[in-house]
Amino acid sequence: DVNQDVPIMLGYTRRIRLYGTDNGLLGQVLTAVASNPQAEVYAGIWVDQNEKTYRGQLNTLLATARQMPTLFRRAVRVVSVGNEAVLTGMADEATMIQRIKETRAALRAIGQQVPVTTVEPMNRYSSAIADAVDVLFPTLHPYFDGVHIDGAVNKVFQLMQMVRDRDSTGRKPLIIAEVGWPSSGKINNQAQPSLANAQRFAHEFPSAANARSVDYFYFEAFDQSWKQPGSLGVEPYWGMLTEDRRTK
Q: pLDDT digit string (tens) for 114-162? A: 999 999 999 999 999 999 999 999 999 999 999 999 999 999 999 999 9
| 3 state SS of 218 | strand
| 3 state SS of 115 | coil
Q: How confident is the model at residue 209 (pLDDT cuts 50, 70, 90)?
A: very high
Residue 207 backbone class (left: φ over 0; alpha: ψ -120 to 50; beta: rest):
alpha
In 3D, which of 78, 82, 114, 113 has the Cα closest to residue 95? 82
Say if pTM beats, i.e. exceeds, 0.95. yes
DSSP classification of residue 45: E
Q: How confident is the model at residue 213 (pLDDT cuts 50, 70, 90)?
A: very high
* Mean predicted confidence (pLDDT) in 187-198: 98
pLDDT at residue 105 in the model: 98
Domain 1-119 in CATH 3.50.50.60:
no
pLDDT at residue 127 in the model: 98
Fold exhibited by the domain 134-248: TIM Barrel (3.20.20)
Phi and psi at residue 101, in whole multiples of 5°? -65, -40
Domain boundaries, the chain: 1-119, 134-248
